[in-house]
Amino acid sequence: MIKYSFTTSTTQLARTPAPAPVPAPHLQGELIDYQACPLCDSKAMAPLCSADCSHHPRYSPELSRTMHWSRCAACGHVFRSGYYTDAALKVVFRGTNESQVVGHDLERQRYVSAQMIEKVLPYQSHGTWLDVGFGNASLLFTAQEYGFEPLGLDLRQQTVDELRKWGVSAHCQDVAQLELPRPASVVSMADVLEHMPFPKIGLGAAHRLLQPGGVLLISMPNRGSPVWKALDAAGANPYWGEIEHYHNFDRERLYALLAECGFEPVRYGISQRYRVCMEVVALKVPR
C-alpha cells in the first residue's frame, strides 16, 4: 500500500518554547464507511493508499489527519473509505477557500470561464445555466455575459447569500432536491462530482433538470493523466490529501458513468481551473 505524507518543517526561533496548544477533541462518528463501491455496488474493494490531509486549509484537529483510499476490483473506481457525517461537514464548511469566494480574481477567471462556455455554445446558446457548486461564481457571471440566465446552487449558505448580493439567483440545497420552473439548457458541475458521496445521484438530478438535448459541463481531476502519474511517482500528488474529495476518476470510468446516467460525451478537453483536470461536455439523451 502506498503511503503519501505531506509535512512542512519550520525553524524554531524562540528561546523558550511556547506552551503546546490543547488539541481539539476528536470528532466521533466522522465518516460513514462505504460498504460497497459507490458507483457499481460491488463489495470487491481493496485498500489502495493513505495520505496525510492535515496540510489542507479546511483541515481541523477535530478530524482525522489520515485519508484512506480504496479501489473497486469490479469497475476500477478509486474512492475514499467513507464520506463525512453532517457533524463533520459542519467542521469542513466553517470556512471557504479564498479561490472559492464569490468574485475572487474576477477579471482573470473571466477568461478561464469564457473558454469553458465556448465549448458549450455549439450545443446550447441560451436558456438557464445552472451551476452546481458555483464557488467564486465566475462561470455564472460569464455565462450571463453570453446571454444565459444564471442560476447558482451551493451547500454553503454564506456563499449563496453573497451571490444574491450580485443580483444572481441562488439556492442553498442539494441538487437532488432542486426543482426548477422550467428545464435548464446547461448544468455545470465544475470540480463538483468528486465531492458527492454518491455521484450517480448528482448525475441523475442533472439529467432530470435538463431539457432534451441539454448540456452537462463537467470537470474534475483526471487520475489517468500522465501528470497525475508523475506526481504519484514523486510522492507529491495533492489529490490524495484533498479533504473535500471522495472520488478520483479517470476518463474511462467517468465516460462509463455518464453513459449509465443518460449522457453522451461529445467533447473532451483539458481544464485550466485546477491542476491535472479534465473537462467534458456531454449531452442529455433519453433513458
Q: Give residues with Cβ within 8 angstroms of 210, minimum separation 6.
A: 183, 184, 185, 186, 187, 216, 284
Q: How far apart are CA 172 and CA 158, in angstroms?
A: 9
- Residue 250 has a pLDDT of 98
CB 192 within 8 A of CB 199: no
Q: How far apart are CA 45 and CA 48, in angstroms?
A: 9
Q: How far apart are CA 237 and CA 230, in angstroms?
A: 8
Cell numbers standing for residue 179: 426543482
Q: Give me the helices (H) in the chain, please.
A: 86-92, 106-120, 138-145, 157-165, 199-209, 226-233, 251-260
- Residue 25 has a pLDDT of 60
- Residue 278 has a pLDDT of 97
Q: How far apart are CA 63 and CA 30, in angstroms?
A: 7
98: left (phi over 0), alpha (psi -120 to 50) or beta: alpha
- Residue 173 has a pLDDT of 95
Q: From the DSSP assignment, how many helices (H) and strands (E) are in the chain? A: 7, 14
DSSP category for residue 62:
T
The pTM for the full model equals: 0.89
CB 115 within 8 A of CB 65: no
Q: How far apart are CA 237 and CA 226, in angstroms?
A: 12
- The letter for the amino acid at 274 is Y
Cell numbers 505531506: residue: 6
- The letter for the amino acid at 262 is G
Q: How far apart are CA 159 and CA 200, in angstroms?
A: 25
Q: How far apart are CA 206 and CA 83, in angstroms?
A: 21
- Segments in the chain below pLDDT 50: 1-22
- Residue 143 has a pLDDT of 98
- Edge to edge, the sheet with strand 78-80 lists 2-4, 45-52, 66-72, 78-80, 247-248
